[in-house]
Structure 1
Amino acid sequence: MVQIHVLGPMTVFDEESEPVVLAPKPRRLLALLAVNADRAVSVNSLMQELWGSNPPRTATATIQTYIGQVRRTLAEALRTSVAEVADEILITEGSSYVLSTSRVALDIAEYELLAAAGSTAVQCGDFVRGSDLLGQAVALWRGPVLVNVEAGELLSARIVHLDESLLCAEEHRIYADLQRGAHHTLVPELTELTARHPLHENFHRHLMLALYRCGRRAESLAVMRRLRTRLVEELGLEPSPFLIQMEQDILRGEPSLDGPRLGAPDRGSARHRERSAVQSLVHRLPRSAMQPTG
């Protein structure tokens, strides 16, 4: 099976896990097909990605040439024929092409399944499992998406979508860890995340809560002061009401801010109440993704 990684530098590996070389334009074309795996990508979309609004007169023929190069590369990687690749992997559907995942392993596909299963677990109150699945999803990222591909309009939009998805996965995993009492381990990570995303209010809120639960109330309030200063100076905005409320709760030592102890059981046996909703997604994961971490 060929492996294609896009969550970081785009890399194609053959069946022996050796990297495969592709020229820049065919690699860019394959990248667009990979982030839309199992979905038809029209020739017009490929033209838009490669040349924007000014494709050359030979654009259609050039795309066919690039598709041929990608098929030959995949055939060599799979030790099979170009005809088989055209029939089963990089398939022509009318005026579109589809990259099938039948014999291609994509990190983005594994990430999306893990992130969806983890988010479902968190929503069901199964915070330990949700944190584990989301942690596995985030761990698949090896850097900025497609960092070695010159992205056009369509790839750029998909990259933005994936970057936002990563932030959501990180936020949901941190929420799950806070709910299960792992605040001590979160402070270094949240300190880094708030530095990288200085206007992300939820990361700041999570850091405030983690610090407060660690007995560091003064530092927790200092996070709010820094955020307020930045919001006012850069955007002319005050923090959101939920942050202001948290600041007030911290000042008066609101008991509801106290968290559970690490390892405490989930309240209400949420694991058993909602197990089926999570399993419907988890059963679709690759076997390797289900191995316990750590």
Structure 2
Amino acid sequence: MNITNEQLYNKRRYFLKLGAGALVSSALVQSELMALNFFPDPNNEKLKLSDEKIATNYVNFYEFSTDKKRAVELAKNFNTKDWKIEVSGEVEEPLTLTMQDLLTFPLEERIYRFRCVETWSMVVPWVGFELRALIEKCKVKSEAKFIKFTTLFDKNQFADQASFFPTLDYPYVEGLRLDEAMHPLTLMAVGMYKKPLLGQNGAPIRLVVPWKYGFKSIKSIVKIEFTKEQPKTTWELANPREYGFYANVNPNVSHPRWSQANERPLGDFFTKPTQMFNGYEKEVAHLYKDMDLKVNF
């Protein structure tokens, strides 16, 4: 056994030894594991990282609040202890995965561009594993064509879910085609900026699909379902004219209320042109070669 693996093994034993009597959060366990066992991104593109304080505090997490600052404040005490993800649908056998199970996948840092439908953008160093590694573990049936993801539904933790008139029809649901989910760029993130995800950023685990608008990258996932049919997603149901299933970043297709031709990187005063597929055209354009991207937006 090499030195890194021995340290990781000992650290796991240490936290398990603390047991239920110690108030150790799942985030702390994640932090220790990731600090020892993720591969850094060499950043070959020389992307300029967004300021960590801005990137971790300028967020959309409507379950907490539609107000960005309020959402951050409410997320401070978000409890992720004993988190589990249920895997069901078109699989040979349903699974329930703990965070400890998920952290057995090789973790790596991925520096990605991130583009919000609201026209702001950032560059984030995520830590996670490729979604396809999880898919391969699940023994998916050939009938499966899509994946449906669901966010935690907990009125005790999410203020907007508990409100008399919630902003959206919760729980929040997103989906991908299976080939999109299997793409090596598609990430299940457990951290950012070399640290565990904060509550407002989707702790303890979220999806990151860098060529799509940010609302596709669903946060705080508790369910993954493999389906034959395309799932109806939350924003698609809320306003299908403005938010399609694919949500690929496309500067040539305007949102009905604003242009998507330009974006403002967080922390910058000036805007810059938005790139097709958020700069990942070379990697993902083949997924949509026979599609009309103005219709399938």
More helix by share: 1
Would you say same fold, with TM above 0.5? no
More strand by share: 2
Structure index of larger Rg: 1
TM-score class, shorter:
under 0.3
